Structure formats: C-alpha cells, structure tokens
Amino acid sequence: MNKQIILLPGDGIGKEIIESAKLVLNSVASEYGHRFTFHQHAIGGDAIDQYGTPLPEDTIKACQNADAILLGAVGGKKWDSLPGYMRPEKGLLGIRKTLGLFANLRPVKGFSSLLHASPLKEDVIKGSDILIIRELTGGLYFGQPSERRENGNAVVDTLYYHRSEMERIIDKAFQSARLRNKRLTSVDKANVLESSRMWREIVEEKSKDYPDVAVEHLLVDAAAMKLITQPNHFDVIVTENLFGDILSDEASVLTGSLGMLPSASIRSDGVGLYEPVHGSAPDIAGKGIANPLGMILSAALMLRHSFQMEEEAAEIEEAVNETLEQGYYTADLHIKGGKQIGTKEMTEMVLENLTTKSVSDSICSS
C-alpha cells in the first residue's frame, strides 16, 4: 500500500523522537512491501521561528491531503511569553480543530517488564488495561470569549459544548467499549457544572442504544483517585477535553512513564493525527535521552486506525515489548538488572527486534 504521511516534529524532544517513528515505519514498510512517503512540515515554536505563525497554511494544506499525520510535540520556554493566539500550543489545537479530530484515544496498557517501574504497587497496577477517550475539539480549550477584562484584573474562559459534539464522542466511546470489555465509565463534574449535567443526560440516552455495555458515572475528583488506587476497575473512560488531558497524564503513572503513552486523534472517516501524550520535555531536550516508545507506539496506532494494518501494528508493539523484556530502558524508566540507553539506541533495539521477527518468519515459512 502506498501512503502519504505528514511528519510534524515540532519542538524539543519532538524533533528527536519523530525520527524513531520514521525508522520503525520504514522497517515495517520494507517487510510488508508498503510504500510510506514522508513529508515534513513545521508546527509550533519551530513554525513561529520560521514563518511567524504556529500553524502555517502550507502545513494545514499538507495535512488535509495526507493519509495520516504523525506529530512529535510542541512548546518550550522560548515561546512562553507570547500572547495566547501565537503560542506553539495554538498550532496543535488549530490542526486538531481544522481537521475535525474530535476523538482522542489514549490507551493505557502497561508492559509487564515495567510493572516495578511505576511508583504504584505492582499488585495494584497488574493487569490494568484502560482506554481513555478524550473529547478533543470542544470545551474550555475552544470556547469564546477567552480574554482578560477590567484592565487585566478579571478573566474569562468559556466552556461551550453543542449537544452534537457530546453525542459523537459518547457514541464513539460506547462503540469502543463494545469492542473491549463492555464497561464504560463516564467522567464529569455533574455536581457543579451544567455542561456535565447535559453530558450525563446524553450518556443516559445513548446507553439505551448499547444495552450490552455497562455504564457508570464518576465525578472527576473521585475518578482521579480511583484511577491510581483501583486501575483494574476501568475498561473505557470517556470524558470532556480538559478532564481527559489531566487524567491521561495521571494514568501514565500506571505504565511507568509519561514517555510510554501513545495517542490517536481521529474523526469518523479514519483520518488521524498520531501523537504521544507527553510534551516537548524542555528539561531533557537535546540530551538524546528522551523515551521514543510513546512516539513509536503512536505510529503503531496510525497503522491500526488509519491504514487497517493490524498485523503490522501488533508487530511494532511486540518489538517494543521484547526490547523492554531484554532489559533496555531510557532514563525516565528503570528495569532491575537492565541497561539504560538513549533515544537512538532504544530505537535501534526496537528495529533489531522487528528485523529478527521478520527474518524468523521468513525462515519458518520457507
């Protein structure tokens, strides 16, 4: 299959880890006879420096014509004092909104060799396998007005959702739960927010269309607690934009590191932008020590969701698993008796495990 893939490295470690995803995809392409053509474009601080805007027209056009998009991360100190509309993050929000990528799938499934890399107790996190579905193009992130008032002494951000925006993400969550363990937890703040009360009503309405899925409602504060005390309680979690942002970073602790989490930002027709959950990590950028696995696993999600290449996606996930089983880890993790390595070496180990697998397959089939 011939696919056009847009690479948006962005800033900080984004630039370092995108290369890892590209190498892994090239390896899969040569094994399976696919052709992936990569086109690199600017976004975030990188685009501000080059073009004076965090989301150049050229980047938007390229993404609109692409089969899929891979994004590293945006942001950094250098651009932190710019006004809101000019910040690197505005580029990321802009591309999600322009492409209508309303569903952000954030699978949180730990690898068994990393069980003791989490500060949480092994017997608490063992077996946890959660899919967080975060609404991505509405809520506080996009509501207008969002401004300072009264000479800068007051401020307003707007939490706006149209019913249709809630319905489509809640539908997506029920459908996803159906394909998993048929348990859906809807997270809101219905004891305080009107938006959450409407959200809860819609979940109740929709649940009639999915009688095979068991639904529960949890308030976000209690959900934050339960996520790390009883992670095995959860199957699919669906929530609005800001709650989903916060809960997913929290959930990454189950896997040992924020650097492990991939995500898929998709819409109904399968077009998607694939991005690790973490940011540009300015504290470690340029040191060659960033964990590339969240990015590599995002590339696997791209193969699965946008290209229906399940076998190829699973093979990448298995190569990551094997690399960790062999004891290799980056500085954000720790594996007892293992070996700490950098971004490039970690990528090489994953590539080696991919190649070993394809060589042993061809020996078996010959």
- Residues designated as active site: 141, 189, 221, 245, 249
Contact 226, 218 (CB under 8 A): yes
146 Cα distance to chain centroid: 26
Using the contact rule CB under 6 A, the part of the chain among 56-64, 89-97, 109-117, 348-356 near ligand IPM is 89-97
Binding mask 236-275 for Mn ion (x = CB under 5 A): ---------x------------------------------
| Residue 93, contacted partner among ligand IPM, Mn ion, ligand NAD, none, CB below 5-8 A by kind | ligand IPM
As measured in angstroms, the least distance from the Cβ of 73 to ligand IPM is: 8
**What Å distances lie between residue 296 and 19, 70, 150, 330, 355, CA to CA?**
9, 10, 47, 14, 15
Could you tell me which residues come within 8 angstroms of residue 200 by beta carbon, excluding any fewer than 6 positions away? 186, 188, 190, 217
Judging by DSSP bridges, how do beta strands 264-266 and 103-109 pair with one another?
antiparallel
Which is nearest to 259 in space by CA: 230, 296, 234? 296
Q: Which does 280 bind (CB under 5 to 8 A by kind): Mn ion, ligand NAD, ligand IPM, none?
A: ligand NAD
CB under 5 to 8 A by kind: which of ligand NAD, ligand IPM, Mn ion, none does 283 bind? Answer: ligand NAD
Binding residues among 125-184 for Mn ion as defined by CB under 5 A: none
> In this complex, which beta carbon is closest to ligand NAD, that of residue 47 or of residue 184?
47
Is 171 a binding residue for ligand IPM by CB under 6 A? The answer is no
The answer to whether 284 and 13 have CB atoms below 8 angstroms apart is: yes
Q: Does 89 engage in binding with ligand IPM (CB under 6 A)?
A: yes
- Each residue 248-277 as x (binds ligand IPM by CB under 6 A) or -, in order, gives -----------------------------x
- 98-to-85, 213, 240, 352 alpha-carbon distances in Å: 15, 32, 19, 38
Q: How far apart are CA 250 and CA 245, in angstroms?
A: 9
- Name the H helices within 82-216: 88-98, 122-125, 163-178, 194-207
Task: Return residues touching ligand IPM (CB under 6 A).
Answer: 75, 89, 92-93, 245, 277, 279
Task: Return residues touching ligand NAD (CB under 6 A).
Answer: 13, 73-76, 89, 92, 258-259, 275, 278-284, 290-291, 294, 332
